[in-house]
Every structure is written in C-alpha cells, then in structure tokens.
Amino acid sequence: MTSGTEPADDAFRAEMRAWLEANCPPSMRTPHLPGQEVWGGRRRTFPSDDARLWFERCVERGFTAPAWPREYGGAGLTREQARILDAEMRAMGCRSPLISFGIWMLAPVLFEFATEEQRAEHLPPIARGEIRWCQGYSEPGSGSDLASLSTRAVRHGDHYVVDGAKVWTSHADHADWMFCLVRTDPDAPKHDGISFILLDMATPGVSTRPIQLISGSSPFCETRFDNVRVPARNLVGREGGGWQIAKKLLEHERSIISVMRDRAPEEAETLPAMLKRVGEPALRDRVIQAELDFLCNRLTLERTAEAAKAGKGPGAASSMFKLYGTELNKRRKELRVELQGYQGLGWEGAGFEPSELQITREWLRSRASSIEGGTSEIQLNIIAKRVLGLPD
Amino acid sequence: MRRFELTPEQEELQRAARTFVEKRVPTAHLRALRDAKDPSHVSRAVWREMAALGWAGIAVDEKHGGAGLGLVELGLVMEELGRTLAPTPLLATSVIGAAALAEGAEAARAHLPALARGERLVALAFEEERRFAPYACKTTARHAPHGAGWILDGEKTFVLDGPSADLLIVVARTAGAPGDRDGLTLFVVDRALAGLTVEPLAMVDSRGAARVRLASVAVPSADILGDAGKGADLLDRLLARATAALAAEMLGAADAVFRTTIEYLKTRHQFGVPIGSFQGLKHRAAHLFCELELTRSVVRAALVAVERAAPDADALVSAAKARASDTFTRAAAEALQMHGGIGVTDDLDVGFYYKRAKVAELTFGSAAYHRDRFGRLHGY
C-alpha cells in the first residue's frame, strides 16, 4: 500500500527500500528490548556489533537526521522524502539507529535561534552521534512553575559564571553537554530574566548525581553548578530571550514523548493475550477499554500526521498527546500488574520471572511519565488556554 | 493510504451541509416540531429541500437518480445534522433504506428514484426486545396459502422514523428459532398494506419512533430482499452503515454542545470573574476536548472502513459507537452541570442534547454492548 503519487517519490521509495535491504542488519529489524538503545556520545556503547554497524552506516548517509542539510551532517532530504524513509524503516521494522535528545529537542531550536557559528559547531557532532545532550530545565524549587527558576548566570567579561542546581536532568550522568535555562537578570519580570545557554558537562564545577526512582531505575539526575565558567558565545538567542526558546523546545519534547512511546520496546505479551492466559473475567471490560483507547489514540496520531502532511500545524496537539498518552500508559501498566496477580508484586530475586519483574518495574516507572516534560495538570492548563481560549 | 483528510469535494459538501443546518434546521426546528406534537417528527418540506441539494439520494447510484457517493459523505452530512439535533429522515431513509433497496430485485430498486427525490421515506423494522438484539426476531413470514407471496405476523418496536415512513424494511423469520442468525429474511413492506399498523411512540429525545404491528400482512414475493433465510448478512451490513453514521451524528452533537459550553464558560460571571477561569472547570473542559479528538478519529476511521469493506470494519464500528456514546453522554452531562441552574431548564437547548445522548447510546447497541463486541471480535 503506497500513498506516493509522484513518480519521483516512487523512485525514491524504491531506492530507500533497496538501501535499507542492503544495509540494515537483520538483527536490527527486530523490536529492541529495554537497554538496547543506542544513545551516542563521547562514551558511546553499543549492545551489539550489528547495532554499531547500523549506527555507522546511518551516520555515513546522514540518516540519523535525514531532513537536515548535508553540511550539518544530515542527508538533505525534503520533508516528503524524510517521511518516505521513515515509513520504509517502520515497514521493515528497523530500529532507531540513534536515540538523541540533541536531534529531537535541541536541534530544532538551534536551527531557529542559533548563530551560524553555533550551528556549525554543534549540529554535526549531534548528527554523527558523537556528543550526547541532556536538558537542564527543572530545579528543586521550580517544577511546574518552571519560569521561577533560580540557577544564576552572572556575566564576567567573555564568560558567564553559573551557580545553582537542576533536577530531572535525563541521563545527565551519561551526557557530554547540557542545554540549560539560567537566570541572567534577577531584577527583570520572571519570564524576561531567563537565558538559554549551552554548557560542557566536563567543565570544572559541574557535578551529577543519579536520582533513584520508585521503580529502582535512575533515568534522571540532579546536577549542581559551583562556579562553572561558560563562554559567553554559548548563549543561544539574546540574553533574556531564553523563555521563548524554552517553550518552543518543550513542544518538541512533548511530541518526542509520543514518538518514543510509539517506538517503545515491544511488549512481550499483549493485554488481551495476558487476559486469556490468566483467565480473569472480572478484568475483561477494563482490558477492552484500554485496548479501545489505545486504538483511538493511535488513530488520532495518524490523523494528526495526515493533517501535518497536508500543511496543517499540530497546534496544541502535542499537549493532548502528552496528556492522553501518558495517562493511558499508566492505566495499561497498572492493568498488566493486576493481571499478573501475586506474581506482579515481586521486587527482585528468585520466585519471579524476569518478565514479571520487568512489568512491575515498568508500572512504577510509568508513574513519572505524567510528571516529566510538564505534568498532566500543566497540559490541561495549556489545552484550556491555547485551544479552548478559556480565561486565566 | 489516507483516511482522515477530506478531498476538496468533501470539504465543499461539509460546508454546504453546515450552512444549510445553521439556516434551515437549527435546534429551534426540533423544539418547534416537539411543541407542535407532530406525530411524524420530521418536516417533509425540509426533507424535499435536502433532496434538492442531493442529500436524500447521496448514496443512491446515478442510474437511479442519486449522487453515487459513499458512506463517508453520508457521515459528513450526519455529523452536521448532529450539531443541531436536526430530526431528518437521513439515517433511516438514505443511510439504511437506500442501501437495503439497492440490494433488492427490480421492484425494490424501483423505489430509489422517488427516494432520491425526497418523496419516499423508509424505516427499518427489526427490533423486538427491550434492547439491541438483531437476531432475536420472532416475527414470522410464511408462504401464502394461495398463489405467490408471504404472510407476515409479529410486532416490532423502536422503529426509527417509523411514524413518517412510506415503506418499511421488515425483518422476519422464515426458518429457525429466535436468536438464530440463520433463517432471517428482509421484506419491503408498503405501509398501506392491510394488517399493518404504525403506532407512534413519544420518545424522550422528541424524535420519531414507532411500534409496528403486522397481522397477517400479505407481501408480494417480488418484495423480498435477497434470498429467503439469508437476511442476516444484509441486516449486518445495514447495521454497520447505520451504526457508523449514527456515531458521526453523535460526534457532531457532542462537538456542538461542547462548543456551546465553552462559550458559556467564557461569558458567565460569578464571584466577579468568568467561570471559565476556574481550574475545576477548565480541566474538565480540556479532558473533554481530548475525548472529542479521539472520537473524531475513530468515527472517521469506521466510516472509511465500512465503505472500503476493510477487514477491521466491524471492530472499528464497535469502537466508534462505544466511544461516541461515552463522549456524547459526557459532553452533554458536563454541559448540563456547567450551565448550572439554567442548564436544567427547558428554556435552554442543552437538555435536548442530554436526552438525545441517551437515546442515541441505546440505538444499535449501547457502549457496553459494543465494548463487549469489540473484545469478542478480537477473540477475547
């Protein structure tokens, strides 16, 4: 089934299919298991030789960032071509060659707000998977009220001195650089005193500590800055213009959380299959409801993608998908644990299958999904204000 | 394959339907028919105007005077009609009736040109139980003792648009026992036939429905639809169309009552501020917005799947009906609550939406029925 109507599109599709056929190792056409993602970075590791090979071949073609111009490490594809490549990769079940906050979150705002020097310096290493980025937004005292952040950056000649702390910095302990919101003017109204800076995590004074979640995993860190010197040329946009950039980036982050979920590791067993295995009729209606909602959510993602292709913007759709997707995901994980019965209550060790423990850990992990990247309540505020136009 | 974006022609149709509905059948139209206690519950004059716009025969083939369009187009018009709860014969006559007659022999298809001109109204008489049970049919059809034809005996209930119908599509049993899928046969029955009585039912949503009694009604053999005893396949196809189209109407109604509510939240002041500034209401409105978006997707997917006879059409129809029922009910209930005291008075239209939501939910299977069916279709 193809939607390509232009002969040029069909030719391109055939070319991509042939390239993938020749270059994507068969083991990279299987759903990835948790922990098998390739994140890149100075200390990059690969779960297998095939994963490295797949990564390197994609980097060489610019397929880690297909729609970027070639001079920045992309493949220079048009939007339509990039969509075709993506569709072909999905059809073949290809894994993402590189999971990258740099590509998905930082790059769009660099393209929009950064200087040519900054783009030339940062975009190619992102596309090549050489530098791994993390996000420095939330602080111990600034969660949903992000604009109240208090990490200070004081200008001293050709550099800033940064002091403060960030939390919920995803994978900061593995990251090479951080894009970071800092307060450059404490006297300005709170949204106007914020700037967006890029910071090398190897700079003296930066320390990172993983935070252990209720699931036992540590995807987030606390990062402290103690007299950290950041070159002034690492300011993106104008001083005091960081909030605009931050908001833009959050929109990208929300759509990414939907994409990530779409490409999440395959569930070993579907909810209906679990229901049939354990035979718990009392849970049937909830399983059906969860399956139905999953279907409706998937159809809505598809509808939005079609609209985007027709040139209609997503609007506040990213907030809706963030809200609905994470709330639904929580419900589905909860149901999985419930279907497991007592075997769903184990923490570790003998007596529990690894697959059972994984379901339990994922259930606990899912509770954070409706908090990170803007809580469900914040998404509801955004929808009420921007879509429905309800007054403050 | 694209399934959500509309073609320019479909967008044009949607605009035309929206304009017509706003101008000719606002909610005041339903209110006026109700207050007039008109037992037919539809306006023939309005229907003739809709026929002139090509909508009565929208899915009738061009050879029989129709526009030759499909269920997606019918769904678009249904959605617009839903916005004002417009009581028109579109569902009974154009979605169900036209499709049923098109499957018949010459005598049945001969009704199509008049149907497309808006001069012949049709209703499907299949329900006999207290709730949706398409195969529970006890009405019998036996061969006439002398000569050709059939004799029908039985009683049908909740016949949508029955009071105004000129023709009834009657489901009768020619073999088997109530509950059997086999042995059902569909007949085209002229309302004027001896032994047939139509008793209008006054429904809570002020729409037309009837109880139909058949006492030895003699139906000519030419008026059978399809093969005797094999009617369940046709009935299933008709119900799939009808259910998807009804879900589209429910989507339109839910969207309209939601928009009305949002406007009210912006204009109604209490404690010196618009009540829409209260987070307790804002968040409920935002949740409802998401539900509507999800409903929109699944309703469109169901219409397209039925039209294309896709393998997942049945599951999508059930998903759409379950979701549309829940969303419409919630939108209407929230509308009542958020409008406060005025919302529960008959002066406002929101009550019409709330009542319609309940009737629409139970029509062609409730949300619970369709959730169960969705599971069964997926093998669990």
Closest to A272 (Cβ–Cβ): which among B276, B322, B378?
B378
Interface of A with B in 246-275 (CB under 8 A): 272, 275
> Measured between CA atoms, how close is A36 to chain B, in angstroms?
31
Q: A166 with A152: CB under 8 angstroms?
A: no
A324 CB neighbours in chain B (<8 A) are: 290, 294
- Please list, in sequence order, all residues whose beta carbon lies within 8 angstroms of the beta carbon of residue A391, skipping any fewer than 6 positions away: B266, B273, B274, B276, B277
pLDDT in tens, A54-111: 999 999 999 999 999 999 999 999 988 998 998 899 899 999 999 999 999 999 999 9
User: Looking at beta carbons, which residues of chain A come within 8 Å of B294?
Assistant: 293, 296-297, 299-300, 324
Mean pLDDT, rounded, for B83-112? 97
pLDDT given for residue A262 in this prediction: 53
Angle, helix A317-340 to helix A271-278, in steps of 10 degrees? 20
Among A296, A300, A319, most B C-beta atoms within 10 A, so best to mutate, is A296
The predicted pLDDT at position A269 comes to 87
**pLDDT recorded at residue B183:** 97
Q: Is the dihedral of CA A367, A371, A373, A374 positive or negative?
A: positive
Q: Residue A5 pLDDT more than 70?
A: no
For residues B321 and B328, is the Cβ–Cβ distance under 8 A?
Answer: no
For an interface test with A, the pick among B298, B300, B369 (most A C-beta atoms closer than 10 Å) comes out as: B298
Average pLDDT of chain A is 91
The CA distance from B88 to B93, in Å, is 9
Question: Which of A303, A377, A387 is facing B289, going by the closest CB pair?
Answer: A387
- Taking the CA of residue A286 and the nearest CA in chain B, the distance in Å comes to 10
Position A32 pLDDT exceeds 90: no
Q: How many CB atoms lie within 10 A of CB B209?
A: 22
Does residue A265 register a pLDDT over 90?
no
Write out the two tokens for B291.
């539900």
- Cβ contacts of B295 on chain A, cutoff 8 Å: 296
Tokens of B238: 């008709």
Conformation bin of residue A145: beta by default, left when phi > 0, alpha when psi is -120 to 50? beta
DSSP at A139: B
Asked whether the predicted pLDDT for residue A1 surpasses 50, the reply is: no
* Rounded mean pLDDT, B332-360: 97
Q: In which element (H, E) is residue A307 found?
A: helix A284-309
Which residues in chain A are contacts of B375 at CB distance < 8 A?
272, 284, 287-288, 291
- Tell me what the pLDDT averaged over chain B comes to: 97
Q: Does pLDDT of A33 surpass 90?
A: no
Nearest to B375 among A284, A293, A303 (CB): A284
Could B282 and A381 be called an inter-chain contact, meaning their C-beta atoms sit closer than 8 Å?
yes
Which among A280, A378, A345 is positioned nearest to A288, based on CA atoms? A280
The pairing of beta strand A206-211 with beta strand B140-143:
unpaired
Give the CA distances from residue A147 to residues A150, A191, A242, A246, B374, in Å, rounded to whole numbers and listed in that order. Answer: 9, 6, 10, 10, 46
The H or E element spanning position B114 is helix B112-116
Does position B311 have pLDDT exceeding 70, yes or no?
A: yes
Residue tagged 């629409």 (tokens): B360
> Which residues numbered 299-358 in A keep a CB inside 8 Å of some CB on B?
299-300, 302-303, 306-307, 309-310, 320, 323-324
Question: pLDDT band at A3, cuts 50/70/90?
Answer: very low
Cα separations (Å) of B328 from A86, A287, A300, B343, B350?
36, 22, 18, 16, 12
Assign residue A158 a region: left if phi > 0, alpha if psi is -120 to 50, beta otherwise? alpha
Tokens of B269: 């002041």
Question: What kind and span of H or E run contains B46?
Answer: helix B44-52
DSSP-derived secondary structure letter, B103: T
Q: Does A384 contact chain B (CB < 8 Å)?
A: yes
Contact between chains at B286 and A388 (C-beta distance less than 8 A) = yes
Where are the extended beta strands (E) located within A184-249? 194-200, 206-211, 220-231, 235-236
On whether the CB atoms of residues A364 and A337 are closer than 8 A, the answer is no
- Does B379 sit within 8 Å of A390, measured CB to CB? no
* Higher pLDDT, residue A256 or B293: B293
pLDDT at B127 over 50: yes
Question: By the CB < 8 Å criterion, does A214 face chain B?
Answer: no
Q: CA dihedral defined by B360, B364, B365, B366, rounded to 10 degrees?
A: -10
In Å, how far is A387's CA from the nearest CA of chain B? 9
Q: Is A391 in contact with B277 (Cβ distance < 8 A)? A: yes
In A, minimum Cα distance to B3 occurs at A303
For the ranges A36-40, A287-291, B90-94, B285-289, the lowest mean pLDDT is seen at A36-40
Give the C-alpha separation, B75 to A188, whole Å.
Answer: 54
Q: How far is B228 from chain A, CA to nearest CA, in Å?
A: 36
Q: What pLDDT band is residue A266 in, cutting at 50, 70 and 90?
A: low
CB contact under 8 A, B295 and A296: yes
Q: What is the DSSP letter of A172?
A: G
Nearest CA in chain B to A324: B290
User: What is the rounded distance in angstroms from the CA atom of residue B335 to the CA atom of residue B348?
Assistant: 11
Q: Which of A284, A299, A384 sits opposite B286 (nearest CB)?
A: A384
pLDDT > 70 fraction of chain B, expressed in percent and rounded? 100
Nearest to B4 among A276, A295, A306 (CB): A306
- Cα–chain-centroid distance for residue A319? 14
> CA-based angle B253:B255:B261, to the nearest 5?
105
Distance in angstroms (rounded) separating the CA atoms of residues A226 and A306: 48
Distance CA A354, CA A360 (A): 10
Q: Does B269 touch chain A (CB under 8 A)?
A: no
Residue A4 scores a pLDDT above 60: no
Query: What is each CA distance from B201 to A140, A213, A372, in whole angstroms?
Result: 65, 61, 54
Average pLDDT over residues B136-160: 95
At A391 the pLDDT is 96
Residues in A touching B287 (Cβ below 8 Å): 380
B215 has pLDDT over 80: yes
CB-CB under 8 Å, B4 with A303? yes
pLDDT band at B173 (very low <50, low <70, confident <90, very high): very high
Looking at the DSSP bridge assignments, the partners of residue A44 are: none
Which whole number is the average pLDDT over B142-156? 92
Question: B293–A320: do the CB atoms touch at under 8 Å?
Answer: yes
Q: How high is the pLDDT of residue A259?
A: 57
* A275, A292, A309 member nearest B374 (Cβ): A292
For residues A108 and A65, the answer to whether their CB atoms sit within 8 Å is no
Q: Are strands A194-200 and A235-236 parallel, antiparallel or unpaired?
A: antiparallel
| Segments of chain B assigned E as strands | 122-125, 140-143, 150-160, 167-173, 184-190, 196-202, 208-219, 224-225, 269-270, 273-274
**Single-letter amino acid, residue B119:** E
Residue B89: alpha-carbon gap to chain centroid: 9
| Residue located via tokens 């799939």 | B240
Phi, psi of A303 (to 5 degrees): -65, -40
Residue of A303, A320, A384 lying closest to B283 (CB–CB): A384
Across residues B240-253, what is the average pLDDT? 98
CB contact under 8 A, A285 and B371: yes
* B287–A380 C-beta distance less than 8 A: yes
Closest chain B residue to A320 measured between Cα atoms? B290
Query: Judged by CB atoms within 8 Å, which residues 286-325 of B form the interface with A?
Result: 286-287, 289-290, 293-298, 300-301, 319, 322-323
Say whether A384 and B285 touch across the interface (CB within 8 A): yes
User: What integer pLDDT is reported at residue B357 of this predicted model?
Assistant: 98
pTM recorded for the entire structure: 0.90
| Residue B18 to residue B231: CA distance in whole angstroms | 36
pLDDT grade for B39, boundaries at 50, 70 and 90: confident
User: A391 to chain B: which residues are within 8 Å by CB?
Assistant: 266, 273-274, 276-277
For residue A288, what is the nearest residue in chain B, using CA coordinates?
Answer: B375
CB contact under 8 A, B286 and A293: no
Indicate whether A152 pLDDT > 80.
yes
Q: Which residue has tokens 């209260």?
A: B278
Give the dihedral sign, CA A15/A21/A23/A29: positive
Amino acid at B223: D
User: At residue A316, does pLDDT exceed 90?
Assistant: no
Q: What is the DSSP track for B160-207?
A: ETTTT-SEEEEEEESSS-TT-STTEEEEEEETTSTTEEEEEEE-TTS-
Residue A33 contacts B, CB cutoff 8 Å? no
- Percentage of chain A exceeding pLDDT 90: 79
pLDDT score, position A2:
42
Is residue B60 helix, strand or coil?
coil
Among A193-207, A263-277, A376-390, B190-204, which is the least confidently predicted range?
A263-277
pLDDT higher than threshold 90 for residue B320: yes
Determine contact: A380 vs chain B, CB below 8 A: yes
Strands B184-190 and B150-160: unpaired
Average pLDDT over residues A151-159: 96
Chain B partners within 8 Å of A288 (Cβ): 371-372, 374-375
d(CA A178, CA A185): 21
What residues in A contact B1, CB-CB < 8 Å?
A: 1, 3
Q: What count of other Cβ atoms lies within 10 Å of the Cβ of residue B241? A: 25
Residues B318 and B377 sit within 8 Å (Cβ to Cβ): yes
Closest CA to B222 of B367, B102, B105: B105
Token pair listed for A72 = 């920045």
Compute the distance between CA of residue B103 and CA of residue B234 in angstroms, rounded to an integer: 8
Closest CA to A251 of A134, A146, A119, A373: A373
pLDDT for position A264: 58
Radius of gyration of chain A (CA): 22
The answer on pLDDT for A236 being more than 50 is yes
pLDDT at B177 (0 to 100): 97
How sure is the predictor about B219, in pLDDT bands with cuts at 50, 70 and 90? very high
Q: Does B204 touch chain A (CB under 8 A)?
A: no
Q: Identify the closest residue of chain A to B295 by CA–CA distance.
A: A296
Q: How many Å apart are CA B94 and CA B64, to the nearest integer?
A: 13
Query: What's the ipTM?
Result: 0.95
Q: Provide the terminal-to-terminal Cα distance of chain A, rounded to the nearest Å.
A: 47
